[in-house]
Amino acid sequence: MNLVEWLQRIMVGFGAEWVMWLMIGLSVISVAIILERAWFFWSLRDDLTVLARDLRTSLEDSIEAARRRMDASPSAEAAVVTAGLAVAHHGPEAADEAMAGAAALQRMKLERRLAYLGTLGNNAPFIGLFGTVIGVVGAFDALGQAAQTPVAQAASQAMAPQAVMSSIAEALVATAVGLAVAIPAVAANNFFQRKIKSTLANTEALTRVLLAHLKIDPAFAAPAAVAAEPRGKAARSPRQDDAKKGSADREES
């Protein structure tokens, strides 16, 4: 028995049914991921127009007011701006770096498990095509066996078309199952990717609002500078006193 006959016997023996069960299992996981991601994005929903307006208004008041407003929002955009507000007293450069890091973390959360949907959507038709090939091999195997049985030739010729049609139907069902699994996965993946792009664009808009306010009004960095100045004076005062005492002693001597 050569390799081709051995593989053919394995394909015909198992049939294409196991491919369809595999596709059904993958589709169950795909549906679970779609529902979980849909709930996740639904939990992050917020009115971004109102949020941007409230951010501008609260920044005119204080950083704490802006932080309270951002903490009240469940959106990913607000979480990124909160990271910038936490270090706003260090200046716009520090706030920009903090928000860039927070945006990267939020992007990872938004894209979680979407790679499975993309992979399944791209490969499910090929898995279904594999089941189709197995069905076609079974159909030709049935034709070959019918041609090799001269005994009861009339009965075998009557049964051969039935076996061939059954194998071809199984092959087409495998193709249909592959497409049925791939289409929802691709559609959901495209929808979620669009939501991620929209979220990141809104995040960029809100971060620019905060950075513009920090650059226009540098008074936000004043508390840190004022707090640092007394410590510097306190650190220099003992040395200045010692220098004054030394000069006074030299004058007396």
Cα 135 from Cα 12, distance rounded (Å) = 8
In this structure, the dihedral spanned by the alpha carbons of residues 71, 78, 105 and 189, taken in order and rounded to 10 degrees, is: 120
pTM exceeding 0.95: no
> Which range has the worst mean pLDDT, 11-25, 39-53, 83-97?
11-25
Q: What is the mean pLDDT of the chain?
A: 81
- pLDDT at residue 236, rounded to an integer: 46
- pLDDT at residue 27, rounded to an integer: 94
pLDDT band at 143 (very low <50, low <70, confident <90, very high): confident
- pLDDT at residue 1, rounded to an integer: 59
Average confidence (pLDDT) over 209-222: 77
Residue of 100 and 220 predicted with greater confidence? 100
Average confidence (pLDDT) over 153-166: 61
Widest CA span in the chain: 138
Cα 60 from Cα 41, distance rounded (Å) = 31
Give the 3-state secondary structure percentages of the chain, helix then strand then coil, rounded to 5.
90, 0, 10
Is the pLDDT confidence value at 78 over 80? Answer: yes
Which helix (H) or strand (E) element contains residue 137?
helix 114-147
Residue ranges of the domains in the chain? 3-221
Residue of 36 and 155 predicted with greater confidence? 36
Residue of 159 and 171 predicted with greater confidence? 171
R_g (Cα) of the chain, nearest Å? 35
* pLDDT (tens digit per residue) in 181-196: 999 999 999 999 999 9
